[in-house]
């Protein structure tokens, strides 16, 4: 996957502008108006979604990051200027919360993924140290069934040696190659070092154009 200099610059410009938290959504009837394209970030609890959103937007505390799995318990909407919305989805899998609460936000996320016409792509975050897990496959199945395009974004790539990261990318590509809604390109990122952030910005800028 290669981006032109113009595409990389468009990504930089997009996120160098105004980015603000818009609202936290706890039910489908409180979603914002469908007047802008949306890109959602999904992943297992503690995969690093909030940290990646912060790195992507260049804001240290736009999205609240926590070492406590399952802290994000609503659909958090961020408005990128007048051209795009980013949606930080609740983490799936382990969470320190009552079962009824987990069921509520899991159902909300599922309804959102199946029924949001403005959703252009789901960035499916996978911890590069652990690879694709069964819970990730379940989410992929949901997105395949709903015909929602998703793209794997590997997080915490700085924790691996270059050869280990190459192996992780190859294994992940093998998992998604026959999945009908999976985008073939995988982006390896690190919120700590900034690796891959420019490519992720460029990819999203294309979706926003």
61: left (phi over 0), alpha (psi -120 to 50) or beta: alpha
User: Nearest to residue 69, comparing CAs of 54, 52, 89, 47?
Assistant: 47
- Report, as an integer, the average pLDDT of 57-76: 64
Domain map of the chain by residue range? 5-125+188-208
Q: In this predicted model, which residue has the larger pLDDT, 25 or 155?
A: 155
Instruction: Identify the band that residue 95 occupies on the pLDDT scale cut at 50, 70 and 90.
Output: low
Q: Is the pLDDT of residue 176 over 70?
A: yes
- Confidence (pLDDT) at 27: 84
> What pLDDT is attached to residue 70?
42
> What is the model's pTM?
0.90
Sole residue written with tokens 């997105």: 143
pLDDT tens profile 6-64: 999 999 999 999 999 999 888 888 899 889 999 999 999 889 888 999 999 988 767 65
From CA 5, how far away is CA 76, in angstroms rounded? 31
What is the rounded average pLDDT for all residues in the chain?
88
Q: What's the confidence (pLDDT) of residue 200?
A: 98
The Cα 54–Cα 49 span in angstroms is 9
Summarize the confidence of residues 158-181 as an average pLDDT: 97
CATH topology of domain 5-125+188-208: Rossmann fold (3.40.50)
The reported pLDDT for the residue numbered 62 is: 76
Over residues 158-182, mean pLDDT: 97
Query: Taking 50 as the threshold, does the pLDDT of residue 165 lie above it?
Result: yes
Taking the C-alpha atoms of residue 196 and residue 178, their distance in angstroms, rounded to an integer, is 25
127 token code pair? 């911890």
Rounded distance between C-alpha atoms, residue 17 and residue 15, angstroms: 5
- Residue 66, pLDDT > 70, answer no
Give tens-digit pLDDT for 116-140.
889 999 999 999 999 999 989 989 9
Q: Is the pLDDT of residue 68 over 90?
A: no
CA distance 101 to 20: 27
Q: What is the largest CA-CA distance in the chain?
A: 48
pLDDT for residue 183: 98
Q: What pLDDT, on a 0 to 100 scale, did the predictor assign at position 98?
A: 58
> Quick one: pLDDT at residue 40?
95
Burial 37-65 (b: 16+ CB within 10 A, else e): bbbbbbbbbbbbbbbbbbbbbeeeebbeb
∠ CA 15-152-74, rounded to 5°: 65
């Amino acid at each position: 996957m290669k981006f032109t200099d113009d595409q990389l610059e468009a990504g930089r410009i997009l996120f160098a502008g105004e980015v603000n938290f818009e609202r936290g959504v706890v039910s489908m009837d409180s979603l914002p108006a469908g007047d802008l394209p949306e890109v959602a970030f999904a992943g297992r609890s503690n995969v690093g979604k909030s940290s990646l959103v912060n790195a992507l937007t260049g804001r240290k505390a736009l999205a609240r990051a926590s070492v406590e799995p399952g802290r994000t318990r609503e659909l958090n909407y961020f408005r990128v200027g007048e051209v795009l919305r980013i949606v930080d989805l609740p983490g799936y899998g382990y969470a320190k919360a009552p079962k009824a609460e987990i069921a509520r936000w899991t159902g909300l996320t599922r309804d959102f993924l199946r029924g949001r016409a403005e959703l252009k792509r789901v960035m499916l975050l996978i911890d590069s140290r652990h690879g694709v897990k069964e819970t990730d496959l379940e989410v992929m199945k949901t997105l395949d069934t709903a015909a929602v395009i998703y793209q794997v974004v590997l997080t915490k790539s700085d924790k691996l040696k270059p050869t280990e990261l190459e192996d992780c990318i190859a294994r992940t590509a093998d998992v998604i190659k026959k999945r009908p809604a999976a985008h073939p390109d995988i982006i390896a990122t690190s919120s700590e070092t900034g690796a891959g952030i420019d490519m992720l910005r460029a990819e999203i800028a294309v979706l926003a154009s």
